[in-house]
Chain A
Amino acid sequence: MKLELQGITKKFGDFTANDAIDLVVQPGTVHALLGENGAGKSTLMNVLFGLYDADGGQILLDDEPRVFAGPGDAMDAGIGMVHQHFMLVPVFTVAESVMLGNEDVTGPAKLLDLNAARAKVKELSDRFGFAIDPDAVIEDLSVGAQQRVEIIKALSRDAQILILDEPTAVLTPQETDELLDIVGQLRDAGTAVVLITHKLREVKAIADDITVIRRGKVVGTAEPTASQEELASLMVGRDVSMTVAKDAADPGDPMLQVHNLTVVDGVTEITLLDGVTFEIRAGEILAVAGVQGNGQTELAEAIAGLTPTDAGHVTLDGEDITGHSIRKVLDAGVGFVPEDRTEDGIVANFTIINNLILDIYDRAPYSTRGTLNGKVLVDNAEKQVENFDVRTTSINALTGSLSGGNQQKVVLARELSRDLKLLIASQPTRGLDVGSIEFVHKRIIEERDNGAAVLIVSSELDEVYALADRIAVMYHGRIVDIVPPDTDRDTLGLMMAGAHKEEEAA
């Protein structure tokens, strides 16, 4: 089925998320919708899927104008969508999840026909080689398997147009390759696939057509043969360097030593961090790679003192800081950029001024005799906002009202304002635009060059390569191995799935 969007416009208040967007997707092709976070890709697809009402424009399927009142209408018309955050009920089985909203019933009492649903799952699973058990419970499945359930869900409704919203954000490189294979199969079977992404590599690997969106507008189309730099500059609107220039590391003495660090979840009794041992030297960046949920978060939080440890030691510059209060850990010279910026990094309802002193509010010159010094705080905020290029109308603005990139700059400004021996940054550029990523990376490298040890946790391999002096790969709470930064992508990918480097070579 051919999909055509004509002049789709969607406004949220004064903000125009989609501005007269045109798009044509032919059956049997993969059409990549490329753009930065916040460019309006997901909004556009939500309009198409009936989740949002458009303020203008129309949707045509096979040249027929269609109006969708809700996702149910869109699905009936043959549109399937795999959302970035999976739309699966964690406690349901695969068969229940697939049948939900489209249930077959049987018998005089019209009860659910679970056997039919199981058969449907089995048939689609076999056809694409998914190996999905219809009776498995969703929450027990891996992220990759859940995504395949989502695809089965769409296909079971005979979707002829399949929208994939940032499908590879949570996958290992190997899972990504598998997904791209599946997309290829679907295309060959005649499905029109819309692939929403900001990852250039995938676009080049699979797309037949590319449409680039920036700030809610179509800014151009490209051929898959275009270079990554060309695509990136279309996406961002200016020339960008894909890698930040950085000198070779000049590591000094060991600054952070982690020995046999172990964390066990108090409720589920699952071992989240299993005897992790490594060290980082002054002036060195160690980047931890791995699929999300393999203990990286716990590692960062355990070192910062946020998560209680069950065994092991953390030594900073010769001083054992295991089990110290967070305040003492910070005072020892640790800066922490948390993974979830809006939850843990800032107080959204505080002004920029106040967010910048969350860790130092109670000491001179910021406060004296228990009272904050307004003038000093304002001066501090003005200086930091300028240094870190925080784009805001005022230092009195609520931090929650800033864009993700600018919020992250506030967090960085605060954490780097103290003299650091160790900087821990979890997913430092998640959800940031290319411009902000460049800035954040530069600052992190500067901190290294100033002699701090830096621990980066990132699930983006591009980021790991851009920053790391050494790469540690984590899997199931353990460090699989620590490898030099020139290790190739495939090897890292295998290690992220648990394979040792030596096994790989053998």
Chain B
Amino acid sequence: MSAPAIEPSALAHPEPGEPVIKRRSWKAPIALGVIAVASLVIFGLLSPSGSQTTFVFARSTDFFTLPTLTVSSRGAAIVLSVLALLLAAYSAALAANYRKPGIWLPVVYGMAIIGSLLTWAGAGRDNTSIQFTGLLTSSLFLAVPLVFGALAGTICERSGIVNIAIEGQLLAGAFLAALVGSMAGNAYVGLIAAPIAGAAVGAILAVFATRYWVDQIVVGVVLNLLVLGLTGFFFNSIMKTNPELNQALSIPTIDIPLLSKIPVIGPVLFQQNLLVYILYIVVIVLQIMLFKSRWGLRVRAVGEHPKAADTVGIKVNRTRVRNTILGGAVAGLGGAFFTVASGLAFGNNMSAGKGYIALAAMILGRWSPRGALAAALLFGFADALRVQLGIIGSDIPSEFLAMTPYLATLFAVAGLVGHSRAPAAENIPYKK
């Protein structure tokens, strides 16, 4: 229900919408506290004393070499867990005063818990150390398809079209990049072909959604299955018999001069391939365009209140079609990650559900490019952590370890990010 609607100036009573009864929300502080205590007990108090964890930050190409950090595993885990506990207490204190913490709190909290997990996992292994820089580098790299996918979702949904077909667009992009790249014998040609495949899938979605008013979620799911089936068919029938059409091409890593030599940041951000550099540009440009440009204002109006947009002369369905195709192209480009950007040939169902995780990243990022990037990096980090923990080996089955960051993410998101609001006209066809 909306608040009572009267001019505030005309009255002697409380402001419209002022909550008379407020409730304290204890969910977030409790969740944070429970996890912090668990971290303190499991990673800190229960782990054997005397063992040490080694973190490596440096790479040989850096300007100067950061020292390798060796800490007492138990001590570090306890300190970090106590820090997390203090943050939980602070958020409880805020909740008691009906307030909510800023975004810094979950971020710092998450780093403390993950740090404590890492010191515990790396404890007492003389021959292996935590490759911190490598961990971050692979986080970013693994996040690439998620970022592109989440951006694609954001572009479409901001105009009012639900894009469940991100998965299919990624897969189509991966397929066409491998095929066209192999035919041309050049991985960069594949990179150019990938968005075309995604845009084609987007175009089908756009036509069904705006012309035939089919439920967009249903069309999206069907498109995912269609792309899975088609690429699988061509893979089995053509690529297997003609291996020259499906080569393991690779676009090279490009070191940005000077910047790539900064310790930690350099290797993570500036020793990547072209697709990652394109990603930086796309995120920045989209963030500005969506919120500061004429195009963005109109797109958002179409996604929130299409009739209002129509009455000021904005073509609603044309905007939606264009955005859906553009979004498809962005996702298709992201699909190139699986083949030419990773140096792999195409394989059946390569995207393996990343499109759906991208969808989650879009929601977590609240339909903004910046947020999509942050959320995708979070998921990418979780993925990279799983890989790293697998490499150093651990007492606990790796499947359980891999769950920890996801769980922490879920709790942090549910408790702290709070309710996010989708574009109002999403999945509603615009009929005149």
Closest to B22 in A: A269
By the criterion CB–CB under 8 Å, are A498 and B3 in contact?
no
By the criterion CB–CB under 8 Å, are B7 and A144 in contact?
yes
Q: Which residues of B contact A271 (CB under 8 A)?
A: 19-21
By the criterion CB–CB under 8 Å, are B17 and A270 in contact?
yes
Q: Which residues of B contact A264 (CB under 8 A)?
A: 20-21
Specify which of B5, B8, B307 lies most central, judged by the most chain A CB atoms within 10 Å of its CB.
B5
By the criterion CB–CB under 8 Å, are A89 and B304 in contact?
yes
Q: Which residues of A contact B298 (CB under 8 A)?
A: 100-101
Whether A475 touches B297, Cβ cut-off 8 Å, given contacts A87-B311, A89-B308, is no
By the criterion CB–CB under 8 Å, are A73 and B313 in contact?
yes
- If A101-B312, A140-B17, A499-B11 are given as contacts, then 5 extra A-B residue pairs at C-beta distance below 8 Å, sorted by A number, are A49-B311, A100-B314, A111-B292, A294-B6, A476-B13
- The answer, yes or no, to whether A174 is at the interface (CB within 8 Å) is yes
By the criterion CB–CB under 8 Å, are A295 and B11 in contact?
no
Contact of B6 among A87, A269, A298, A498 (CB under 8 A): A498
Q: Which residues of B contact A70 (CB under 8 A)?
A: 310, 313, 315
Q: Which residues of B contact A89 (CB under 8 A)?
A: 300-301, 304-305, 308-309
By the criterion CB–CB under 8 Å, are A103 and B294 in contact?
yes
- Chain A residues 480 to 506 lying within 8 A of chain B, measured CB to CB, are 497-499, 503
By the criterion CB–CB under 8 Å, are A294 and B311 in contact?
no
By the criterion CB–CB under 8 Å, are B10 and A101 in contact?
no
Contact of A476 among B16, B313, B315 (CB under 8 A): B16
Docked complex Cα distance between A292 and B4 (Å): 8
Docked complex Cα distance between A166 and B312 (Å): 19
Whether A90 touches B305, Cβ cut-off 8 Å, given contacts A269-B19, A270-B17, A499-B12, is yes
By the criterion CB–CB under 8 Å, are A475 and B301 in contact?
no
Contact of B1 among A99, A272, A499 (CB under 8 A): A272
By the criterion CB–CB under 8 Å, are A497 and B305 in contact?
no
Q: Count residues of B near A (Cβ-Cβ below 8 Å).
A: 44
Q: Which residues of B contact A90 (CB under 8 A)?
A: 304-305, 424
Whether A172 touches B1, Cβ cut-off 8 Å, given contacts A100-B312, A476-B16, is no
Docked complex Cα distance between A142 and B23 (Å): 25
Docked complex Cα distance between A45 and B281 (Å): 46
- Chain B residues 300 to 356 lying within 8 A of chain A, measured CB to CB, are 300-301, 304-305, 307-315
Q: Which residues of A contact B10 (CB under 8 A)?
A: 174, 497-498
Q: Which residues of B contact A265 (CB under 8 A)?
A: 1
Closest to A101 in B: B312
Docked complex Cα distance between A89 and B294 (Å): 15
Docked complex Cα distance between A13 and B303 (Å): 30
- Chain A residues 244 to 269 lying within 8 A of chain B, measured CB to CB, are 264-265, 268-269
By the criterion CB–CB under 8 Å, are B312 and A87 in contact?
yes
- The answer, yes or no, to whether A293 is at the interface (CB within 8 Å) is yes
By the criterion CB–CB under 8 Å, are A83 and B9 in contact?
no
- The answer, yes or no, to whether A75 is at the interface (CB within 8 Å) is yes
Contact of A111 among B5, B22, B293 (CB under 8 A): B293
Q: Which residues of A contact B2 (CB under 8 A)?
A: 139, 293
Residues of B participating in the A interface, judged by any CB pair closer than 8 Å: 1-14, 16-23, 288, 292-294, 297-298, 300-301, 304-305, 307-315, 421, 424, 432
Docked complex Cα distance between A409 and B239 (Å): 69
By the criterion CB–CB under 8 Å, are B297 and A103 in contact?
yes
Per DSSP, chain A at the interface is: loop
By the criterion CB–CB under 8 Å, are B5 and A498 in contact?
no
By the criterion CB–CB under 8 Å, are B3 and A293 in contact?
yes
Q: Which residues of B contact A498 (CB under 8 A)?
A: 6, 10-13
Residues of A participating in the B interface, judged by any CB pair closer than 8 Å: 49, 51, 70-73, 75, 81, 83, 86-92, 96, 99-103, 105, 109-112, 131, 139-140, 142-145, 153, 170, 172, 174-175, 264-265, 268-272, 274, 291-295, 297-298, 310, 475-477, 497-499, 503
By the criterion CB–CB under 8 Å, are B4 and A91 in contact?
no
Q: Which residues of B contact A101 (CB under 8 A)?
A: 298, 309, 312-314
By the criterion CB–CB under 8 Å, are A293 and B5 in contact?
yes
By the criterion CB–CB under 8 Å, are B313 and A75 in contact?
yes
Contact of B308 among A87, A139, A142, A269 (CB under 8 A): A87
- Shortest distance in angstroms between A281's beta carbon and chain B's nearest beta carbon? 29
Contact of B312 among A71, A91, A269, A270 (CB under 8 A): A71
Docked complex Cα distance between A172 and B19 (Å): 23
Whether A88 touches B16, Cβ cut-off 8 Å, given contacts A73-B313, A292-B5, A499-B11, is no
Docked complex Cα distance between A290 and B238 (Å): 72
By the criterion CB–CB under 8 Å, are A270 and B311 in contact?
no
Q: Which residues of B contact A91 (CB under 8 A)?
A: 300, 304, 421, 424
Q: Which residues of A contact B424 (CB under 8 A)?
A: 90-91
Whether A476 touches B4, Cβ cut-off 8 Å, given contacts A88-B308, A101-B298, is yes
Listed A/B pairs (24) with beta-carbon separation below 8 Å: A51-B310, A72-B313, A75-B313, A87-B311, A89-B304, A90-B424, A91-B424, A92-B301, A100-B309, A103-B294, A110-B293, A144-B5, A174-B10, A268-B1, A270-B18, A271-B20, A293-B2, A293-B4, A476-B4, A497-B6, A498-B6, A498-B11, A498-B12, A498-B13
By the criterion CB–CB under 8 Å, are B301 and A72 in contact?
no
Docked complex Cα distance between A503 and B10 (Å): 14
- Shortest distance in angstroms between B24's beta carbon and chain A's nearest beta carbon? 11
Closest to B11 in A: A498
List 5 A-B pairs, minimum CB-CB distance, nearest first: A72-B313, A101-B312, A87-B308, A271-B20, A498-B11
Specify which of A72, A73, A102 lies most central, judged by the most chain B CB atoms within 10 Å of its CB.
A72
Whether A83 touches B6, Cβ cut-off 8 Å, given contacts A90-B424, A111-B293, A476-B16, is no
Contact of A105 among B7, B9, B14, B294 (CB under 8 A): B294
Docked complex Cα distance between A100 and B421 (Å): 21
Q: Which residues of A contact B307 (CB under 8 A)?
A: 87
Q: Which residues of A contact B310 (CB under 8 A)?
A: 51, 70-71
By the criterion CB–CB under 8 Å, are B7 and A102 in contact?
no
Q: Which residues of A contact B7 (CB under 8 A)?
A: 142, 144-145, 175, 497
Q: Which residues of B contact A175 (CB under 8 A)?
A: 7
Docked complex Cα distance between A292 and B2 (Å): 10
Q: Which residues of B contact A100 (CB under 8 A)?
A: 297-298, 301, 308-309, 312, 314
Docked complex Cα distance between A102 and B298 (Å): 10
Q: Which residues of B contact A270 (CB under 8 A)?
A: 1, 3, 17-20
Contact of A110 among B6, B12, B294, B313 (CB under 8 A): B294
By the criterion CB–CB under 8 Å, are B19 and A268 in contact?
yes
By the criterion CB–CB under 8 Å, are A142 and B312 in contact?
no
Whether A96 touches B297, Cβ cut-off 8 Å, given contacts A89-B304, A111-B292, is yes
